[in-house]
Copies of this chain bind each other. A is one copy, B any other.
Amino acid sequence: MEPSRPSSPPPPLPPLAESFPSSRKLERGDLQVPEREITLTDGSTLCVYDTTGPQGHDPERGLPRRRQPWIDARVQRGDSNFSQLHYARRGLVTEEMQFCALRENVDPEFVRSEIARGRAIIPANRNHQEIEPMIIGRNFLVKINANIGNSALGSSIREEVDKLQWAIRWGADTVMDLSTGKDLKTTREWILRNSPVPIGTVPIYEALERVQGKVEDLDLKLYLEVIEEQAAQGVDYFTVHAGVLLRHVPLTAERVTGIVSRGGSIMAKWCLHHHEENFLYTGFDAICKIMQKYDVSFSLGDGLRPGSIADANDDAQFGELEALGELTQRAWAHDVQVMIEGPGHVPMHKIQENMDRQLRICHEAPFYTLGPLTTDIAPGYDHITSAIGAAMIGSMGTAMLCYVTPKEHLGLPDRDDVKQGVIAYKIAAHAADLAKGHRGAQARDDALSKARFAFRWQDQFNLALDPETARKYHDATLPQDGAKVAHFCSMCGPRFCSMKLTEEVRDYARRGMADKSAEFAARGGELYAAP
């Protein structure tokens, strides 16, 4: 059985200016930290965090290598340990830390201290010099990750680069290449050379390709070869399922949905076949050594995450979490940065426990969760079932949210699915930033709400996460240009508009208070007149 392939490849991406009208990209300071400036109709501006990267470069040649001079200088001065964690522990503020500090509007020293204590990471392989550094930690803006990647059944390399650029256009902070088909190395090379955001992979997928899918033939030697090659290419973080231990596997046998993580099921099968401990666990120090050399960060995989509401917070899941806590300290001993992957499918009332345990057991290493999905009954809408859980766990302290697209559980996401997933997760992350009282997060809400209330339609669109869709929806009822400046909208019509009425209420209220002021002054300014 062969899958049907679309008869023609998708059209090229529209230019950035079409997606974000009245916006321009700025680069702040010597480090050229990117941001997007939105100009409103009154001439005022609002700057927003920007992940879109340099535009207009030939994908065959890749992006400019902005980190090259920073890293060259470190080589020249004879550094032998290039890990951000190593520098941070020694009290050194790197250019990457400065860059993140400017991007987040915080003190560089704060960035350094958060990294030094393992509470934040800057995934930045020394060989991925194209990236604009970003930081993942619960005292910074909540980040989102988008997964792309072909499988044996679909997708071409050009489509993957397009998906990368499309995902970062809408706000993906990191991208994972989860390809499992042919040409893994070439696909990854294209993605890395064209990615201004950190790229993560799951190296066990490539290792498995090399043994023709025979799980039992995997071993540490092969795995180390694979990660050395991927690290040399510039991958910024690896998902490593080193916490799936032999003793955990039987705990999954009675689950409703067993093991749903690909990496988790591979390692579980390997453990059972050989009746030996997971070689990623026993060989963890060797893995750390390679990752330290390139400053690849760990994303310690949750191979036993629950795949259904029924399996949430069970012994298998929390047993693995204990192992991840131990591995976190082992990685830190090698100066390797760590984040911890989390579920999955979790009903709302069980989310807090995930966050609490992760912080405690994993020594406050950043948490990076997939959703969680808060119900299983809505395939086709899992970007929504999971945005609910993602917003909640984000507000509790999860540092990065792995997006879920509408096609989750059903098929491979196409371009529109990627956009839907990213936007849903930008919403979740921003809602979490607001809930955490993140400094400055509310400025965009306020600007948009003021525009809305003043009937500045163009500003309302341009301040939106997705200006094009906002405009399109408005135009579906009131397409004329005049409607963009009209002091009413299609919901109520011209006679009957609450916002218009409120303007009158304000006038009345102000006049009323002015009258009262005059009266008060006339009375001689005494606060309480004698009765």
Other A-B contacts than A253-B506, A257-B499, 18 sampled, CB-CB below 8 A, are: A3-B478, A154-B477, A180-B496, A253-B513, A266-B501, A269-B508, A272-B512, A275-B512, A309-B434, A309-B445, A348-B395, A348-B435, A375-B434, A376-B448, A379-B461, A384-B424, A409-B452, A410-B470
Known: A435-B347, A482-B1, A510-B253. A446 touches B395 (CB 8 A): no
CA distance A193 to B151 in the complex (A): 53
Say yes or no for A494: interface residue by CB 8 A criterion.
yes
- Which one of A160-168, A292-300, A385-393 is at the interface? A385-393
In the complex, the answer to whether A384 meets B427 with C-beta atoms within 8 Å is yes
- Chain B residues with CB below 8 A from A495, complex form: 152, 213
Give the residue of B256, B378, B448 whose beta carbon is less than 8 angstroms from that of A423.
B378
Say yes or no for A4: interface residue by CB 8 A criterion.
yes
Give the residue of B473, B501, B512 whose beta carbon is less than 8 angstroms from that of A380.
B473
Q: Does more than half of chain A's interface fall in helix, strand or loop, or is it mixed?
A: helix
Give the residue of B423, B483, B501 whose beta carbon is less than 8 angstroms from that of A265.
B501
Closest B residue to A151 using CB positions: B493
CA distance A476 to B3 in the complex (A): 9
CA distance A310 to B415 in the complex (A): 34
Contact string against B for A residues 397-426, beta-carbon threshold 8 Å, 1 for contact and 0 otherwise: 000000000110111101000000001101
- Chain B residues with CB below 8 A from A432, complex form: 348
Please list 15 pairs of residues, one from A and one from B, whose beta carbons are closer than 8 Å in the complex, sorted by A's number. A153-B493, A208-B496, A252-B502, A253-B506, A258-B502, A258-B506, A265-B498, A307-B452, A349-B395, A349-B434, A378-B427, A380-B466, A409-B452, A410-B489, A411-B489
Closest B residue to A509 using CB positions: B253
Report A517 CB to chain B, min CB distance, Å: 12
Say yes or no for A210: interface residue by CB 8 A criterion.
no
Closest B residue to A212 using CB positions: B495
Size range of the chain A interface in the assembly: 35 or more
Give the residue of B388, B409, B464 whose beta carbon is less than 8 angstroms from that of A388.
B388
Report A414 CB to chain B, min CB distance, Å: 7
CA distance A527 to B266 in the complex (A): 31
- Chain B residues with CB below 8 A from A266, complex form: 498, 501
Known: A381-B427, A445-B377, A470-B380. A411 touches B490 (CB 8 A): yes
Give the residue of B269, B410, B424 whose beta carbon is less than 8 angstroms from that of A501.
B269
- Chain B residues with CB below 8 A from A308, complex form: 445-446, 449, 452-453
CA distance A4 to B490 in the complex (A): 11
CA distance A435 to B450 in the complex (A): 35
In the complex, the answer to whether B154 meets A262 with C-beta atoms within 8 Å is no
Known: A250-B509, A498-B264, A505-B268. A3 touches B490 (CB 8 A): yes
Report A511 CB to chain B, min CB distance, Å: 9
Give the residue of B215, B260, B375, B497 whose beta carbon is less than 8 angstroms from that of A430.
B375
A residues 415-474 with Cβ under 8 Å of B? 423-424, 426-428, 430-432, 434-437, 442, 444-446, 448-450, 452-453, 460-461, 463-466, 469-470, 472-474
In the complex, the answer to whether A431 meets B260 with C-beta atoms within 8 Å is no
CA distance A268 to B507 in the complex (A): 12
Say yes or no for A522: interface residue by CB 8 A criterion.
no
- Chain B residues with CB below 8 A from A406, complex form: 473
CA distance A394 to B75 in the complex (A): 57
Known: A152-B495, A213-B496. A463 touches B377 (CB 8 A): yes
Known: A268-B505, A391-B348. A464 touches B380 (CB 8 A): yes
Contact string against B for A residues 137-174, beta-carbon threshold 8 Å, 1 for contact and 0 otherwise: 00000000000000111100000000000000000000
